[in-house]
Amino acid sequence: MNKLIKKTLLLVPLVKKYVDSSHKIRTNLLENQKCLKELNSLIMASRSPGLFDSNKDFLTERLLAHPVKDPMPSITLVSECATEKPNSVAIADRLIRSYHKALEDEEHSSLKRDGEDLWTGLIRNELPELLETIDRKDPEKLAKYLREFGQSFVWFGGITSCVDGYNRNLDPQHVAVTYLDKIICLAEYLGILGFENPESGPWGDNLNVDINDLIFKIEKEIGIEVSPPLGIIHTDGVKAGKGLFHYRHINSLYSAIQIDKLSQQHGPICEFGGGLGMTAMYARRFGIMDYTLLDLPITCLLAGHYLLHAVGEDQVSLYGETLSDDDIKILPYWECLSIPDKSMELIVNQDSLPEISDNLINEYLKQIKRITKKYFLSINHECFHPRTVFNFVRSSTGYDPVSRSKCWVREGYIEEVYRIK
């Protein structure tokens, strides 16, 4: 009876159209469910099944040297604000005097920036409030500004330790995983962890090690404490051992390890474009005392703020002050012209040369060759190819290539060592 009713109803055109449409929808639904099941299987078998909840997750994976298994590592992002220090105003006063002397002297320097580069635009567009605060010459206001600087996301990096443009997916756990990944890379470089192999395995296990134990082993291997000082500037990072680590702490620690290996006499060292000076801070823990930073006046001020608090007021010299051999010396970029011939054991540049004007690159390479006794270490990206350190050095003279390799802790960065003839 039911079959007869159904057969009769299907003779009605509208009913038949509805039934056919429903059948088609059901068939499509079953096919889509099958496709989703297959896609889910592919994701679970992919490099990082623990990541993929949305399209943004691909922005995390591109930064990682290791795959993320499901579930993700239980790591969280922690924030610690800067705190008021009893010597902050006195330090700010030193910074103001040094900065304004640098501005006065820059006009008379024979070495000047030519045209617009990445940092010229960044300073003008992103730091106008800082420039206005410095111009007021009020150390109390500057101390307060620097204490609050970098509390929220900035697209650029190098002068803060907050979440920055390194991360495109700002989910806190994803940010934390990218920072953890760098610690794992450092441990693999040091031989503390085995270097994972996607061909034969294991692959994806190292991200799940005990990070506190790992920091202990890193410190034992390299012989220094690696926890960065806190409370100087706002810091977003992952807690490990006694410290809170932003990704730039790991980058800087790795660079300091390379400096320690290349510097048989432990200095003098000169770094062109040192950012906040974190590499100089870690190098000092290795016993490298005579360290010179050359940078833009505004960056020198930010580095001075960080280092005067991090290593001590009596261990850092600013431009315009009496310079001591055992100090970290923070000087404007044109002061490279005043450094004596063959007085530096090693020159370092990271995150810098490809981002400045051609005239400065060529002049820096000329000065590096003049003032260096042994080596030039470069850790830079090649995003602006053919404007790369490799090509600029190759078009210069007096540099013998020693090594060129991928950087262990920085995806997309090239580490090069040149011997000065």
Residue 145 burial (CB count, 10 A): 18
Q: Report the C-alpha dihedral over residues 97, 103, 109, 112, rounded to 10 degrees.
A: 140
Return the structure tokens found at 60. 């995390």
What's the whole-number mean pLDDT along residues 76-105? 97
- Looking up tokens 């795959």 gives 67
Q: How far apart are CA 286 and CA 311, in angstroms?
A: 13
DSSP state, residue 161: B
CATH number, position 393: 3.40.50.150
Cα–Cα distances in Å, from 150 out to 89, 158, 189, 222? 19, 11, 30, 30
Number of separate domains in the chain: 2
pLDDT digits (tens, 9 = 90+) for 290-330: 999 999 999 999 999 999 999 999 999 999 999 999 999 99
Q: Quick check: 260 pLDDT over 90?
A: yes
Q: How far apart are CA 123 and CA 302, in angstroms?
A: 12
Can you give the pTM of this predicted structure?
Answer: 0.88
Kindly indicate the confidence band of residue 29, based on its pLDDT and cuts at 50, 70 and 90. confident
Residue pair 284/60 in contact (Cβ under 8 Å)? The answer is: no
Where helices occur in 291-357 by DSSP H, the ranges are: 297-310
Pick from 299, 171, 362: nearest CA to 307: 299
How much of the chain exceeds pLDDT 70, in percent? Answer: 93
Residue pair 192/221 in contact (Cβ under 8 Å)? The answer is: yes
- For all residues of the chain together, what is the average pLDDT? 92
At residue 120, the pLDDT reads 72
Q: What is the DSSP string of 34-56?
A: HHHHHHHHHHHTSS-TTT-SSTT
Quick check: is 160 in a domain?
yes
Residue pair 237/251 in contact (Cβ under 8 Å)? The answer is: no
Domain of residue 270: give its range.
Answer: 156-420
Quick check: is 183 in a domain?
yes
Quick check: is 356 in a domain?
yes
pLDDT digits (tens, 9 = 90+) for 356-371: 889 899 999 999 999 9
- If asked whether residues 182 and 309 sit together in one domain, one would say yes
Q: Judge residue 320's burial from the number of C-beta atoms within 10 Å of its C-beta, 0-12 exposed, 13-18 middle, 19 or more buried.
A: middle
Question: 122-126, 352-356, 394-398: which has the minimum mean pLDDT?
Answer: 122-126
pLDDT digits (tens, 9 = 90+) for 188-233: 999 999 999 999 988 889 999 999 999 999 999 999 999 999 999 9
- If asked whether residues 177 and 322 sit together in one domain, one would say yes
Quick check: is 81 in a domain?
no
Residue pair 393/399 in contact (Cβ under 8 Å)? The answer is: yes
Quick check: is 52 in a domain?
no
Residue 252 burial (CB count, 10 A): 24
Quick check: is 66 in a domain?
no
Quick check: is 85 in a domain?
no
Residue pair 289/259 in contact (Cβ under 8 Å)? The answer is: no
Kindly indicate the confidence band of residue 42, based on its pLDDT and cuts at 50, 70 and 90. low
- If asked whether residues 160 and 18 sit together in one domain, one would say no
Quick check: is 380 in a domain?
yes
Pick from 5, 305, 328: nearest CA to 160: 305
Percentage helix, strand, coil for the chain under 3-state DSSP, each rounded to 5: 45, 15, 40
C-alpha triplet 51, 53, 58: angle, nearest 5°? 55
